[in-house]
Amino acid sequence: MATLLPVVATVAAAVGPVWSNAAATSNSASTAAGPIKIGMITSLSGPYTPLGTNDKLGAEQEVNAINAAGGIDGRKITLIVEDDKTDPTQAVVDYQTLVSDGVVGIVGPVFSSSALATEPYASRAKIPTIDTAAADNLATPARYYVYMTPPTTKIVAQQLLSYMKYKGLRTMAVARDTSAFPTAGWNNMRAMAPKYGVKFIYDGEFALTSTDFTTILTKVKASKAQGLMVWGSGPAEVTLTQQFRAMGLKIPLLFSHAEASYLFTKPVGSAGNGVIIASSIGGIGPYLPGNYPGRSIITSFADTFKKNNHYYPPEFAFDAGGAVAMFAKAIRERGATPAGIAKALSTMTITTGDGTYHFSATNHSGLTAAQVAITRDVRGTLVPTKFTRAAIRRAGGHS
């Protein structure tokens, strides 16, 4: 069942930055044309519920900001939200529903398997779609109507391998679930590992809904690996971490950016202390130097989100809020039609909470590995590692 975000901002506290950095204008003729419909597919039930819920919160916050500033040429945005239930089949139904509703663009899905299932429909319907899922094969090769906001699994794998090399972790184990996102991440990491002098000596698979990791962790311990890399997202990784600690494993435990939020650090509790987690640059916003490009944008969005929801925005909120901002900028530049939006996206440069994107005809993911941070969970807070602090200094900032 779709939910509609009202076209009028709710309260002043809900207003955050309009990342497109373009002034809204009032136009009575445009207002008469009615609201601009943007669709959203996310997971409000099923294993990805925590991710999808925060996707929705981030998108709503940006819509509220745009509407409170007068909309786009006097037209307010209506956000129509569909729940894919963490199910690719349902996501396809949702996509077709949104197209029938007359949306000019679609945000999501957040579940990579759902995003891959809906991708062919974007090309058929000619509806610009900005996925909030991270599997790099969503945007590689580039497809005219499909873009993505999270750092891709490829650049995250690259940055994590750089960190392993930096720390002297030469022999590693991996544990991963078999859905699209971790599969893409593992395939990237496995292919690039030799370049970084890293060898994976154990590979353990688990289901998205797994609750017992004893067998995998026992084999990791027996392998004598110097560290364990985990690719997955959802509650399973919390349980894995707690069981990792309970079994007395002392080797470094590393995660992708899917765990870069309170959605992991809060439920995992003290078991997460010291865990290494990749993150978009927004995840370490409070630690960025004042001259870091986009810091004020990150801080503004985060402050509003914290005021509304009482916690720092997770990766997923930044992803979806940024997607709405991209649509808004595209509409301002070329009008509220799918064709105009697609044209604008194909050459867009924009800074959001995830970093600065440079889209082109051949690049629909927009970010680079330099915009991926490697963090450490310090009593529930993501703190940049020395590895990332040094990278920021090399880029000209001071951490």
Tell me how far apart the alpha carbons of residues 317 and 132 are, in angstroms, rounded to a whole number.
9
pLDDT for residue 167:
98
The H-or-E segment that residue 177 falls in is: strand 171-177
344 vs 289, residue with greater confidence: 344
Task: Kindly state the tokens that stand for 82.
Answer: 């569909």
pLDDT in tens, 211-235: 999 999 999 999 999 999 999 987 8
Residue 99 phi, psi dihedral angles, 5° rounding: -60, -45
Instruction: Report the amino acid identity of residue 342.
Output: A
Measure the CA angle with vertex 147, ends 66 and 389; round to 5°.
80
Q: What is the mean pLDDT of residues 78-97?
A: 98
pLDDT in tens, 243-255: 999 999 999 999 9
Averaged confidence pLDDT in the chain: 90
Q: Is 191 buried (19+), middle (13-18) or exposed (0-12) by CB count in 10 A? A: exposed
**Per-residue confidence at 288, pLDDT binned at 50, 70, 90?**
very high
Which domains can be identified in the chain, with CATH numbers? 3-150+294-356 (3.40.50.2300), 153-287+372-394 (3.40.50.2300)
Asked if the model's pLDDT at residue 154 lies above 50, the reply is: yes
Task: Kindly state the tokens that stand for 389.
Answer: 């602090």
The H-or-E segment that residue 344 falls in is: helix 338-345
pLDDT for residue 31:
40
pLDDT in tens, 8-33: 333 333 334 445 444 333 333 334 47
Q: Is 272 buried (19+), middle (13-18) or exposed (0-12) by CB count in 10 A? A: buried
CA separation, residue 334 to residues 67, 174, 331, 337, 364 (Å): 19, 46, 5, 8, 18
pLDDT in tens, 314-357: 999 999 999 999 999 999 999 999 999 999 999 999 999 999 99
Q: Where are the alpha helices (DSSP H) in 111-261?
A: 112-125, 153-167, 180-192, 214-223, 235-246
Instruction: Report the amino acid identity of residue 207.
Output: A
Sheet of 77-83, strand order: 3-5, 77-83, 36-42, 105-107, 129-131, 146-148
Q: What does R_g of the chain's alpha carbons equal in angstroms?
A: 20
pLDDT in tens, 353-382: 999 999 999 999 999 999 999 999 999 999
pLDDT for residue 234:
75
